[in-house]
Structure 1
Amino acid sequence: MEGEQDHPLLVRARRLATDLLAPAAQRVDRDGLPAAHLDALRTSGLLGASAPQTYGGSGVPEAVARDIQETLATGCCTTWFVQAQHQSPLRLLAASDGPAKERLLPELASGRLLAGVAYAHVRSFPWVPVRATAERGGWRFDGTVPWYTGWGLNDVMLLAGIDADDEVVLAFAGTGEERGLRASEPLRLVAVSSSRTVSLRLDGLWVPPESVVLRTPRERWAGTDLAHAANVSPAVFGVAEAALRVLEETGTEAAMTAHGLRTEVATVRRQAYALADHPAPDHVVPERTALRLRALDLLRTVTTAAVVAGGGRTTGLDHPAQRLARESLFLLVQGQTAPVRRAHLASLASGSKPAASS
């Protein structure tokens, strides 16, 4: 809607992406994420855009929150990825009750604290990488978190484990010199390698009961997670927009290619966001999954076109086209669930493009 496109926070996100993030994206990819980017996010109000106003956030409509995420990804996918970790804990706290909400939500909404997440491993069930055990009135976590983004950049993490009753236990823990917590060296990734993604070894990490924000049967958690993961990440459209801009600036022929691709991306974006806003999203999971695959296929096409149009010079690490192509590879698997992976492999095996709904 036109009014939503003029929302002050979205205008602020566009300015931040244009003036700070995009000009530094190549340097961030090569040298690391500077503190200035996170400081700008902390002071901009964007980190708490979705948080309730009563807790210091802005309570923006979902469409505005989504566009903010897309805009940040257009500027710099690495910066987007680090701050995106903050959004899930914030939303979970906003929907919860208890001492963790009162203690942490105002800090996360204001940006005084930056949060990360350590729960993707729950999708590996029946393999249980992290076990949660009730102990001393709180919870003990043991095992390995294979993937944790923002180590040394964020202040708290939302950690998940599975207990003996197959319940998912979600609790907040510190990210400093915590007893029973050890981080690996930063992982070398094909893209967003400056996000300081590590694996975590948990050996009796204990959290008090007031830090627990949710306990729920694993099957219930998996159902909610599946419905959410079927959506297209706004970052897919953000990186696609960045690649389209590179393509448009390459020359007349490339700009003509960009024109046709931009129309197709806009169509899939409109359909994907309409389904994400469906009043009963659990009933349209197959349709949203198909659009997720279609959007990823388009992203691969757009970033490939940017590489092809620029010729051999795009293979240089100083050229944005190769970075965007690598980011498209990353987004193929970011937030992926087993059902999404199976659907994607099936579409690739059949040699047909995932169909977008009309």
Structure 2
Amino acid sequence: MSTFGVSEDHLELREVTRQVAREVIAPRAAEVDEGGVFPETSLAALVAAGLHAIGLPEAYGGQGGDLLASVIVAEEIARACMTTQQVSGGNELFVWPLLLGGSQALCDRYLPRIASGEALGAFALSEPEAGSDVAAMTTRATRVEGSEGGWRLKGTKRWITNAGRADLYVVFAVTDPGAGARGISAFVVESGDAGLSFGAPEKKMGLRGSPTAEVYLDATIPADRIVGDPGQGLRLALGTLDRTRAVVAGQAVGVAQAALDCALAYARERRQFGRPIGEFQGVQFMLADMETKIRAARLLAYDAAREAEAAGPDMSLAGAAAKCFASDVAMAVTTDAVQILGGAGYTRDFPAERLMRDAKITQIYEGTNQIQRVVIARQLLVGVQNRL
């Protein structure tokens, strides 16, 4: 594990997170899912422990954790409740564009609010006709003439985590329609801004306590709310995703580990033909494969965190590979867990079915796994000379 930079501090962080997850978050996970309720108590526990945005620099009141710390925290929270991790993860999605390109004044204004837990963040990139094809977005930002200046944002964002609950949003919009992908910029929008509204919450298969909705924009914001310079938006968005895909991989590992935990407990207790089903070789092989896949996914997630922390040349490839593999593992392992539980796995009496429903989204958001494979292949083809 030392190869991937896992220090004593990381191990201690894992134990602290695991304790909060076990004592506060896990007991509420089924209730959050069943009722589709926002995980207020669980999020408050993360804030109290400083685990809600572990990667925020100390200069802004954060914990100053590296990306590996973010991955470890995501894994442990998702192991207890994927919904809670997803809600909390909105903070890092908000934070990264500001860290990568925001002015000092913008960072000073907003990042301490995230660090203290006063504000919850969100990341508004996708649109009804611009999901995988981000450059096709139609939301526009036009300069406002006059002494005050500013920007008028108009458009619709879709599939936005924490929409309607977040206090702060990073919104991506086209500022130069003739410049293609280089004409996209990023802005901070506050929940109290006039002209910001939301659609009805989506009725989802999983992550049912994590609010997801459309964001409607017809708002004018001050000029100093732009993140970086005009035209830098797509670079900031992709730079953010290069880092947070490692965190999604950690999330996927966490939900897969929870499924294996559930399957192991059941295999020890459930008896058929006079003995525990865990003594049957068919079940043993399934459990062994589940463990092997989880270990491989965890190492890929840690490697992606290491590469992104160093801003290495393989950062995009490593993040895509980790997210793609780990999410496929999450889906496979949770499906096998349901199979091991048999009929019981298909009921809500056990967590396996919830874990399976939650796991599916990891193959879709922050770039579908089909897009991740495109990213990986392009990186290989472009960088082939450097690899020989």
How does the TM-score come out when normalised to structure 1?
0.86
**Which whole-Å CA distance do the structure 1 matches of 2:86 and 2:221 have between them?**
26
Does the CA contact (< 8 Å) of 2:53 and 2:88 recur in 1? no
Report the CA distance shift for 1:149/1:36 in structure 2 as closer, same or farther (over 3 A): same
1:246 alignment counterpart: 262
1:124 aligns with 2:130: no
Structure 2 matches for 1:252-267, cutoff 5 A? 252=268, 253-254=277-278, 256=284, 257-267=286-296
Q: Which amino acid aligns with 1:334?
A: Y
**Which whole-Å CA distance do the structure 1 matches of 2:323 and 2:95 have between them?**
24
Identity of aligned residues (%): 27
Q: CA deviation at 1:343?
A: 4.4
Q: Which amino acid aligns with 1:68?
A: V
Q: Which amino acid aligns with 1:17?
A: A
1:302 aligns with 2:314: no
Q: CA deviation at 1:92?
A: 3.1
**Which whole-Å CA distance do the structure 2 matches of 1:247 and 1:181 have between them?**
45
1:335 aligns with 2:366: yes
Does the CA contact (< 8 Å) of 1:52 and 1:94 recur in 2? no
Structure 2 matches for 1:202-281, cutoff 5 A? 202-203=217-218, 205-215=219-229, 216-217=231-232, 220-221=235-236, 224=239, 227-228=242-243, 231=246, 233-252=249-268, 253-254=277-278, 256=284, 257-278=286-307, 279=310, 281=312
Does the CA contact (< 8 Å) of 2:71 and 2:305 recur in 1? no
Report the CA distance shift for 1:182/1:275 in structure 2 as closer, same or farther (over 3 A): closer
Report the CA distance shift for 1:83/1:319 in structure 2 as closer, same or farther (over 3 A): same
Does the CA contact (< 8 Å) of 1:138 and 1:209 recur in 2? yes
Report the CA distance shift for 1:145/1:49 in structure 2 as closer, same or farther (over 3 A): same
1:57 alignment counterpart: 62
1:153 alignment counterpart: 165
**Which whole-Å CA distance do the structure 2 matches of 1:201 and 1:330 have between them?**
23
1:186 alignment counterpart: 201
1:142 alignment counterpart: 154
Report the CA distance shift for 1:73/1:145 in structure 2 as closer, same or farther (over 3 A): same
Report the CA distance shift for 1:291/1:39 in structure 2 as closer, same or farther (over 3 A): closer
**Which whole-Å CA distance do the structure 1 matches of 2:233 and 2:39 have between them?**
37
Find 1:200's aligned residue among 212, 215, 222. 215
Structure 2 matches for 1:12-23, cutoff 5 A? 12-23=16-27
Structure 2: state its 5+ residue gaps.
Answer: 1-5, 269-276, 378-388
Q: Which amino acid aligns with 1:239?
A: V
Report the CA distance shift for 1:233/1:342 in structure 2 as closer, same or farther (over 3 A): closer
2:380 alignment counterpart: none
Does the CA contact (< 8 Å) of 2:185 and 2:233 recur in 1? no
Report the CA distance shift for 1:11/1:342 in structure 2 as closer, same or farther (over 3 A): closer
Q: CA deviation at 1:300?
A: 1.9
Q: Which moved more, 1:139-148 or 1:124-133?
A: 124-133
Q: Which amino acid aligns with 1:198?
A: A
Report the CA distance shift for 1:21/1:168 in structure 2 as closer, same or farther (over 3 A): same
Does the CA contact (< 8 Å) of 1:230 and 1:340 recur in 2? no
Q: CA deviation at 1:25?
A: 1.0
Structure 1: state its 5+ residue gaps.
Answer: 347-358
1:133-183 CA deviation, whole Å, 9 max, x = no partner? Answer: 11141111111101222134322211111112443222211224x322221
Report the CA distance shift for 1:65/1:147 in structure 2 as closer, same or farther (over 3 A): same
**Which whole-Å CA distance do the structure 1 matches of 2:61 and 2:77 have between them?**
21
**Which whole-Å CA distance do the structure 2 matches of 1:287 and 1:101 have between them?**
28
1:45 alignment counterpart: 50
Does the CA contact (< 8 Å) of 1:145 and 1:201 recur in 2? yes
Report the CA distance shift for 1:334/1:98 in structure 2 as closer, same or farther (over 3 A): same
Q: CA deviation at 1:282?
A: 3.7
RMSD: 2.7
